[in-house]
Amino acid sequence: MSLPQLPEDEREARRALRRRLLDARATLPQRAAADARIAAALSDLLAGLAAHRLGFYWPIQQEFDARAVVAQWLAAVPGRVAALPVISRPGAPLDFHDWTPATPMTAGHYGIPIPDGTAPVTPDVLLIPCVGFSAGKYRLGYGGGFYDRTLAALHGKPVAIGIGFEACRIDLPPQAHDLPMDWIVSENGAF
């Protein structure tokens, strides 16, 4: 799936918005408390979903670090599988590969750690980082379109859970290719 190109002025406006939101996320007051509230809300939400294969992300640029929540989710029920995204080639949907806290990691695209040599997984739930998000559950990512392509390409669409901070809640009119998240989790809870 190729994403449509915005006019240059709209692309620049989105780049400026991303920079502002990333700056806000990097300087959040009481960050540890916000992270703890996100972890609690995410744990409660995951406990209520019939998920067996959970795709999530390795935290970069001050994103919420979901690894502890995912490790607890894995340990709670035998047979659950967690997976991290792998970029197989530019412009393609993300692939997901099996992860546990003991999985050996290697550097992937952009230097982001990825599982080293583990099996592919098709998630039934995806945790997706949000640079920004709207009340309508649309997310603003980093601009590469990886999750848009992935959600559009996966068969049996997974439950999409965007994770972000309230300081990054914005008015965000969706673009034609944008898909809303099923849930957003912030320090104010899950909605």
pLDDT at 176: 81
Report which of 157, 128, 123, 125 is spatially closest to residue 141, judged by C-alpha positions: 128
pLDDT at 75: 97
- At what angle are helices 31-48 and 67-76 packed, to 10 degrees? 30
**What are the boundaries of each domain within the chain?**
8-190
152: three-class secondary structure by DSSP:
helix
- Candidate CATH numbers 3.30.420.40, 3.40.50.10420, 3.30.1130.10, 3.40.430.10; the one for domain 8-190: 3.40.50.10420
pTM: 0.93
Q: Phi/psi class of residue 97: alpha, beta or left (left: φ > 0; alpha: ψ in -120 to 50)?
A: beta
| Pairing mode of beta strands 113-115, 105-107 | antiparallel
pLDDT at 172: 86
Report which of 65, 127, 74 is spatially closest to residue 100, judged by C-alpha positions: 74
17: three-class secondary structure by DSSP:
helix
Distance (Å, whole) CA 95 – CA 50: 22
Below-70 pLDDT ranges, the chain: 1-8
| Cβ(160)–Cβ(126) below 8 Å | yes
pLDDT at 91: 85
Residue in the block written with tokens 């912030």: 186
